[in-house]
Amino acid sequence: MGRESIIRAAREIYDDLDFQRVRDWLSQKPGTKAVGYLPVYAPRELIHACGLLPVGIHGGGDRVEIIKGDAFYQSYICHLPRSVVELGQSGRLDMLSGMLFPSTCDVIRNLSGMWKMLYPDQYVRYIDVPQIATPEIAIPFWEGELRHLLNDLAKLSGHHPSEDELRASLGLYNEVRAALRELYELRRTRPWDVPTEELYLLMRAGESIPPEDFLAMIQSYFRAIDDEPNRPRDNSRVIVVGSFCEQPPLGLIKTIERAGCYVVDDDFLIGNRFLTEDVELSGDPLSCLAESFVRDAVATSVIYEADPHGKRSEIKDKVDAAGADGVIFAAASFCDPALLDRPMLRTGAEAHDIPCIAFKFSENSGQFQQFREQAGTFSDSIKLWGGA
């Protein structure tokens, strides 16, 4: 398959807010169910192990008109939950049998309660990830939470996975994360060959199809880019920070790259690569998964930073690892985690003379002129003055 047809397929999935691929999957496998999860982190391994299809719900972007969703939210609350409610209220999520709401922020937390009231027949769980760093306390807590969730999901699906089945799911998601790491590494070394728009569309497709299919999709993409290399451009290299929950519209991602900035790292859909190392497969699966979260979670605003120097070095570490020239802080309007973190991250970056710009977006932002200007100027200044 060629690059274009792979991306076209991914884009179709991304564009389809009726989740036809999920519906097809369900109708092909009578008796199975699908479970949705919101950003940022949910243990999809457990959903998968129970024979359920995990479906990432990341809002309606700029593709859904908000009619009912605004009736649930004041103007000073971010856009994601209102489009999620819109999707729900318009019946577009009626193929889901359950929804998981991770402890990303208070808005998503409260949405879990709203969902309970709106859809009393659905399985709804708030996922309270451990916030403390001490493994001896955090791991047993998280393992308990995972066990609770697993039992619930098993009841929902009618299938309680064996240890081997659980382990197989953990292994499969290890493979998915390894593939994503490879994808990111490729973009880091050859950003012209992996435009961020394409990388992003692939990852979005991965949120609505089975992980096995997603792996195959990425593998075919790897082959395609080797067959059809692009020409490098004289762009600057940036990392994008702050878009881990509400997703920027595709137009914004394109705008950044077209304005002359190669995105060489980002935190879009960070939940799909939240665990930075492979989960150990030799011990008790739940305790291994719990341990992996506590020890190897990515540094992001939704998790408490126990290391006092962590915030100050976080951006420097990311910039160094990505070989980037600068940082774009792109946070959703009214996003508490990203916006409260930003002054600390920015101070840390600037202390290391890392050039930064910052803007706010909304998943349905319709005009990119200001982003284009900012990103273009940023890229030019980096090229002119280097990293200083």
Partner 1 sequence: MRCVIGIDLGSTTTKAVILDEDGAIIGRGITNSRSNYELASAVARSEAFADARFRLVAREVRGELDQALLGRLERAFRLEQTLGQLGRLHELIEEEIERRQYGELGPTVREAVGSIVKAIELEERAHFGSENPPLRSSFFRDAVGSAYNRYAEEISDPKGVTFDLLLGLYDKCIIRVENEPMDLGFQELIDNALDRIENPTLMVDAVRAAASTELDEACMVGTGYGRATLPFPKEAIRSEILCHGLGAHAMFPGTRTVLDIGGQDTKAIQVDDSGIVTSFQMNDRCAAGCGRYLGYIADEMNMGLHELGPMAEKSTRCVKINSTCTVFAGAELRERLSLGERREDILAGLHRAIILRAMSLLARSGGIDDEFTFTGGVANNEAAVHALRDLVDENYGQKTLNISPDSIYTGALGGALFAHRLAS
Partner 2 sequence: MAETSAAKDRSMILQKQMIANHYRQLENAPETGDPVVYTFVPGNMNELVRSFGALPVLPEINALQSGMRQKSGDYIAEAERAGHSEDVCTYVKCDIGMIKAGNISPTGTRLPKPDLLLLSYTGCYTFMKWFELLREEYDCPTVFFHVPYQGDGTIEAEHRDYMMRQLREEVIPALEKATGRRYDEDRLREYLTLSAQAEDDLVAVLQSAKNRPSPIDAYFGAVYYVGPIFSSFRGTPEGVEYYRALREEVEARVAAGQGPMTPVGQLDDEKYRLVVEGPPNWTSFREFWSMFASEGANVVASTYTKVGGTYDFGFRHDPEDPLGTLADYCGGCYTNINLPGRVDMLVDYIREYEADGFVINSVKSCNSFSAGQLMMLREVEKRAGVPGAFIESDLVDPRYFSAANIKNRLESYLQMIDARRMGASA
- Residues near partner 1 (CB under 8 A) are 62, 65-71, 74-75, 362, 364-367, 369-370
Least distance in Å: CB of 313 to partner 2?
A: 13
Least distance in Å: CB of 233 to partner 2?
A: 32
Residue ranges in the chain assigned as alpha helix (H) = 3-15, 20-28, 44-49, 80-89, 106-118, 135-157, 163-189, 196-206, 211-227, 250-258, 285-296, 310-322, 336-351, 369-385
Per-residue CA distances from 339 to 124, 316, 351 (Å): 28, 18, 19
Per CB under 8 A, the list member of 33, 125, 187, 273 interacting with partner 2 is: 125
Question: 69 contacts which partner out of partner 2, partner 1, none, CB within 5 to 8 A by kind?
Answer: partner 1
**Does 107 engage in binding with partner 2 (CB under 8 A)?**
yes
Closer by beta carbon to partner 1, 69 or else 98: 69
Least distance in Å: CB of 92 to partner 2?
A: 19
Closer by beta carbon to partner 1, 15 or else 307: 15
Stretch that binds partner 2, among 11-19, 182-190, 337-345, 374-382 (CB under 8 A): 337-345
Least distance in Å: CB of 66 to partner 1?
A: 7
**What does the per-residue mask of binding to partner 2 show for 304-323, with x meaning CB under 8 A?**
xxx-x--xx-----------
Per CB under 8 A, the list member of 97, 103, 243, 255 interacting with partner 2 is: 103
d(CA 207, CA 227): 26
Give the number of other CB atoms < 10 A from CB of residue 376.
16
Per CB under 8 A, the list member of 39, 51, 130, 326 interacting with partner 2 is: 130
Least distance in Å: CB of 343 to partner 2?
A: 4
**What does the per-residue mask of binding to partner 2 show for 358-377, with x meaning CB under 8 A?**
--x-----------------
Angle at 282 between CA 280 and CA 288, to 5 degrees: 45
Residue 327's nearest CA partner among 349, 301, 342, 343 is: 349
Question: 282 contacts which partner out of partner 2, partner 1, none, CB within 5 to 8 A by kind?
Answer: none
Rounded to the nearest 10 degrees, the angle between the axes of helix 163-189 and helix 285-296 is 30
Least distance in Å: CB of 54 to partner 2?
A: 19
> Which DSSP string do the residues of 272-326 spell out, in sequence order?
GG-B-SPPP-SS-HHHHHHHHHHHHBPP-TTS---STTHHHHHHHHHHHHHT-SE
Question: 66 contacts which partner out of partner 1, partner 2, none, CB within 5 to 8 A by kind?
Answer: partner 1
- Specify whether the CB–CB gap between 68 and 47 falls below 8 A: no
Per CB under 8 A, the list member of 132, 216, 281, 351 interacting with partner 2 is: 132
One-letter identity of residue 301: S
Stretch that binds partner 2, among 35-43, 66-74, 182-190, 199-207 (CB under 8 A): 66-74
Question: 111 contacts which partner out of partner 1, partner 2, none, CB within 5 to 8 A by kind?
Answer: partner 2
Kind of pairing, strands 261-266 and 356-361? unpaired
Per CB under 8 A, the list member of 2, 229, 323, 343 interacting with partner 2 is: 343
Burial of 285 (0-12, 13-18, 19+ CB in 10 A): buried
- Specify whether the CB–CB gap between 100 and 42 falls below 8 A: yes
- Specify whether the CB–CB gap between 244 and 40 falls below 8 A: yes
Closer by beta carbon to partner 2, 9 or else 107: 107
d(CA 235, CA 386): 12
Closer by beta carbon to partner 1, 301 or else 364: 364
- Both tokens of 52, joined, read 């359920």
**Does 352 engage in binding with partner 2 (CB under 8 A)?**
no
- Both tokens of 227, joined, read 């067959």
Binding residues for partner 2, per CB under 8 A?
Answer: 71-74, 76-77, 81, 101, 103, 105-107, 109-114, 116-118, 125-126, 128, 130-134, 136-137, 140-141, 144, 148, 301, 304-306, 308, 311-312, 331, 333-337, 339-344, 346-347, 360
